[in-house]
Structure 1
Amino acid sequence: MNYLPCLEVEPQTAATAAVIWLHGLGASGDDFAPIVPELDLGDLAVRFIFPHAPSRPVTINNGMVMPAWYDIFTLDIDRKIDEEQILQSAQAIHDLIDREIERGIAAERIIVAGFSQGGAVSYQAALSYPKPLGGLMTLSTYFATSDTVAVDSANQPLPVFVSHGLYDSVVPEVLGQRAVELLKAKSITAEYKTYPMDHEVCMPQIRDISQWLTTCLSN
């Protein structure tokens, strides 16, 4: 099996849970690793996995080759994307989930997370996975495959945390609101929080993420 290359941050004791966290367009798995100590998860033994997206041409950036989970054709509010590539990326995340299960982590203790483009893949990957996961966390993103995703019944009750910047100049906050409504239409309840920021993360958000992860993984 060829897995995506990943940066992994191990807990001080043997891992009993895992968070697979996808970066945004043009970034890398190194982007969110510095947040791990800030989360201050106490005694929770969580392995953080930060996969690196493959490099590919991106249409909205004049065909420039960069790390990307999928190609984006237009930046209008409906965002036309390469759906085949997003499905391929979601399958690559399924493979990483399967590997965590093989390493002894129960599916119910695996959380999928993603920022921006990585969040769009996270929606597809988590909701279509055939075993019940521990949670889905999306940051500053949109639900790109809402019309086509086949939500597996195992993840219908999935805990979902959606967060967005009120002043996001890359992915307008209305797309975060829309994602929550699209989830609701599929009978999936999401917690939604906004922050006075642009397309980024902030400390109040990190504290909320810490609390949400702790709640999901303390059960």
Structure 2
Amino acid sequence: MAAARRLQLCAVSPTGRHSASVIFLHGSGDTGQGLRAWVRDVLVPDLAFSHVRVIYPTAPVRPYTPMRGALSNVWFDRYKISRDSPEHLESVDAMCSSLGSIIEDEVKAGIPKHRIIIGGFSMGGAMALHLVCRHHPDVGGVFALSSFLNKDSAAFQDVEKRLKAGLSLPELFQCHGTSDELVLHQWGEDTSVLLRKFGMNTAFHSFPGLNHQLSQPEMELLRGWILSKLPATASFDSHNS
């Protein structure tokens, strides 16, 4: 197997002792730096924490079929943007390997996997769901903003297998605007319903009038959820001092 590609990273360091990490994946055509700037513009006083490192990777440039093969920063290829389309699993799985290296680096730095949250916006949210549901179900949580999985996604199949085997999965936090015309609100909600059906604990939040974008109320809700999953704990600090 070819070595995983090392990805360019943009990171926001914690102001205090690093005891948890968030990996936040951008949407198609964006970069880690672009998403980081967007988050900073939308959320005051920023998605920053005293103990959590927030990592914004950049997807590699590849030909993207929905753009007629034009080059773009995308996590994986799609045959088309549709819930009914088959997934381009070869590109999805290759990127799971590359992103898995970031998780491994955080673990090597002393962060337990249950103290790592992975999520993303749009395509980044779908990528996060594949990464967590199929390869890293022992992380602390997963979030998906304005995202969806295809109707017959391999992620659904793996979640169902884990349920039947009596294995656990992390909680999913989802947000979606009701006016999103690129990734329909119904697609996002259907993803939540199916994952819940297969046994995953999911929370789906609708934002009336929000299009395919981030918003301050959404990001404030996300920040609170992250803190609920990754609290700053004195016991962790003393154990790792």
Q: Which runs of 5+ in 1 are unaligned?
A: none
Q: Which runs of 5+ in 2 are unaligned?
A: 234-241
Which 4+ stretches in 1 moved above 3 angstroms? Answer: 36-44, 144-147, 151-155
Letter in 2 for 1:217: L
Find 1:11's aligned residue among 9, 14, 17.
14
Find 2:226's aligned residue among 199, 213, 217.
213
Cα displacement string for residues 172-214 of structure 1 (whole angstroms, at most 9, x for unaligned residues): 0111111111211220010100112110011110110111011
CA separation in 1, counterparts of 2:68 and 2:47? 41
2:112 is aligned with 1:106: yes
Which is helix-richer, 1 or 2? 2
Cα displacement string for residues 5-41 of structure 1 (whole angstroms, at most 9, x for unaligned residues): 1111111223111000110110000133232673667
CA separation in 1, counterparts of 2:141 and 2:78? 26
Cα displacement string for residues 99-134 of structure 1 (whole angstroms, at most 9, x for unaligned residues): 100011111110001111111110010112356211
CA separation in 2, counterparts of 1:53 and 1:171? 20
CA separation in 2, counterparts of 1:155 and 1:141? 25
Does the Cα contact within 8 Å between 2:125 and 2:144 map onto a contact in 1? yes
Q: What is the TM-score with the length of structure 1 in the denominator? A: 0.90
Secondary structure of the 1:132 match is coil
Does the Cα contact within 8 Å between 1:146 and 1:182 map onto a contact in 2? no
Paired residues, what number? 219
Name the counterpart of 2:63: 57
2:134 is aligned with 1:128: yes
Cα displacement string for residues 59-97 of structure 1 (whole angstroms, at most 9, x for unaligned residues): 111211010111122233424442110111122222111
2:96 is aligned with 1:90: yes
Does the Cα contact within 8 Å between 2:16 and 2:50 map onto a contact in 1? no
CA separation in 2, counterparts of 1:170 and 1:129? 28
CA separation in 2, counterparts of 1:210 and 1:154? 30
Tell me whether 46-55 or 83-92 shows the greater mean CA deviation.
83-92
Max Rg structure = 2
Does the Cα contact within 8 Å between 1:39 and 1:209 map onto a contact in 2? no
CA separation in 1, counterparts of 2:224 and 2:166? 24
Name the counterpart of 1:25: 28
Letter in 1 for 2:30: A
In structure 2, the CA distance between the partners of 1:39 and 1:85, relative to structure 1 (3 Å rule), is farther
Secondary structure of the 2:206 match is strand
2:188 is aligned with 1:182: no
Q: What is the TM-score with the length of structure 2 in the denominator? A: 0.83
